[in-house]
Amino acid sequence: MLSLVGIIIALALLIIFAMKGFNILWMAPILSCFVIIISGMDLKEGLTVTYMTGFVNFAKNYYLVFLFGAIYAKLMEDSGAAKSIAYGIMKLVGEHHKFAMLIATMVITAVLTYGGVSLFVVVFAVMPIMRPVYKKMDIP
């Protein structure tokens, strides 16, 4: 039960730190250490066996999805397609309606996901489109 509480606390802290701009590549292992200690596991074994095994398996299983998603996002950004889509969405929603822009982002993501596109690909597709809009509208 204590390890479940530790996981919930670590997840909440990860969200808070990510929103504050902390690098997730640093925060994930640090908060994993917190969960390992709270769970009563050996820190060395928890990091080298449990954490790294899960991380490496995840990276191995989704490497190609991340690779091609990142290439697709970079192509959209470099070609200007992402900006033109973003400004079209901004014209449709309105330049001064931050909440409506957040809802539009959620709807776009939901439509792509429910349409069968992998969530990882959706993240790489939506991010270059919405980044210029969020930057212009001062949305973190």
Encode pLDDT of 77-113 as tens digits: 888 887 787 788 878 887 777 888 888 888 888 888 8
pLDDT at 18 > cutoff 80 = yes
Q: The pTM is what?
A: 0.60
pLDDT of residue 128: 82
- What are the domain boundaries of the chain? 63-140
DSSP H or E segment with residue 106: helix 98-114
pLDDT of residue 31: 92
pLDDT tens across 37-76, in order? 998 889 999 888 888 898 899 889 989 988 888 888 888 8
pLDDT at 13 > cutoff 90 = yes
pLDDT of residue 61: 92
One-letter identity of residue 9: I
* 7 HSE (CA, 13 A, CB side): 5
Contact between residue 32 and residue 54 where contact means Cβ atoms under 8 Å apart: no
Q: What does pLDDT average to over the chain?
A: 85
